[in-house]
Structure 1
């Protein structure tokens, strides 16, 4: 479904990604793990069109999307939940969700998806008239995920969904990611909590200083001595 082929990405003079290649097949949860600054978020931002690679290509369902405008990429069925949630603080929960569907005009479908989001995240239904800026961190994460789902993505990119959340909420968010995947959405997940990420992913890549250091099934990587030492605390 998604192929990232030998991309190099720069921030000004800083060479952030070196020859990175990953792929995501339909129906999978694939996770990118690695230390802070390893290039995980940069990879996602390149896939979603916020950054353009200097070299290499990004193909989604066979189409080269490197350099395409982000909203065009969303219209192809690829949606990102950004790091730090980025909800529109001065707008209500409902308005944030409606914005997620801004490229669509199928009223009945939008209404159906809105109900599905409220089923997945009952707390958002309780707070639908509330300003998003007044929600807790966990609720904002749910809203950011719900907003991305409103574009009806085929592939959902999640950037650090557990950041800053209490352990109980992390568990809840990860259960929902699995549910989203089981209902037919493919997921590419960037996550600092390597243990949780590997527990739900099918496959994983380890990024180190902008390069792919390891790749394999999530099970293999969870059992790898190297990964255990570096990311799983033991």
Structure 2
């Protein structure tokens, strides 16, 4: 479905990604784990068109998308939920969700997706006329995910969905990620909470200082002493 091959991404003179390659198959949950500043968010931005790789290629559904405009990539079926939620604070919940469907013209489909989002996130239905800036962190995370789903993506990029949330809410968010995946959406998940990420993923990649240093099935990485030491609080 998605193939990233040997991409290099720079911020000015600083190289953030160094020859990164990864592959995602339809229907999977693939997670990227790594420390802060390892390059995980940069990789998501390169896939969604917010950053342009200097070298290497990104192919989605057999079409090259490396360097394409972000809205063209959304149109092709990739939605990105950025780190830090980024909801439009002075707009209502409903208006934020409407914005997620701004490239679509199918009114019936959009109405169905509103219902689907409210089913996944009942809290948003209760808050639909409320300004998004007044929501709690967890509710804003739900809104950011709901907004991305309004574009009806085939591939959903999630950047740190559990950041700053209470443990109980983290469980809820991860359960919903699994539900979204079970209804046919492929997911690439960037997550600091490696335990939770590996518990729902099929496969995982570990990024350190801009390079992929390890990859395998989630259960293989869960058993790896190297991963236990670095990311799972093992001794």
What interval of TM-score do these two structures reach, taking the shorter chain for normalisation? over 0.9
Cα deviation for residue 59 of structure 1 reads: 0.5
- Aligned equivalent of 2:190: 190
Q: Deviations over 1:139-187 (max 9, x none)?
A: 0000000000000000000000000000000000000000000000000
Cα deviation for residue 21 of structure 1 reads: 0.1
Give the whole-Å Cα distance in 2 for the aligned partners of 1:12 and 1:174. 35
Q: Deviations over 1:117-140 (max 9, x none)?
A: 000000000000000000000000
Q: Deviations over 1:172-231 (max 9, x none)?
A: 000000000000000000000000000000000000000000000000001100000000
- Aligned equivalent of 2:78: 78
- Aligned equivalent of 1:147: 147
| Equivalences for residues 71-220 of structure 1 within 5 A | 71-220=71-220
Q: Deviations over 1:97-130 (max 9, x none)?
A: 0000000000000000000000000000000000
Q: Secondary structure at the match of 2:175?
A: helix
Give the whole-Å Cα distance in 2 for the aligned partners of 1:15 and 1:146. 33
Q: Secondary structure at the match of 2:86?
A: coil
TM-score, normalised via structure 2 length: 0.99
Give the whole-Å Cα distance in 2 for the aligned partners of 1:144 and 1:135. 12
4+ residue runs over 3 A deviation: none
- Aligned equivalent of 1:47: 47
Cα deviation for residue 35 of structure 1 reads: 0.4
- Aligned equivalent of 1:27: 27
RMSD over aligned Cα atoms? 0.3
Give the whole-Å Cα distance in 1 for the aligned partners of 2:118 and 2:78. 21
Structure 2 stretches lacking a partner, 5+ long: none
Give the whole-Å Cα distance in 2 for the aligned partners of 1:143 and 1:160. 14
Give the whole-Å Cα distance in 2 for the aligned partners of 1:176 and 1:168. 13
Q: Does 1:36 align with 2:40?
A: no
- Aligned equivalent of 1:68: 68
Q: Secondary structure at the match of 1:184?
A: coil
Q: Secondary structure at the match of 2:31?
A: strand
Number of aligned pairs? 234
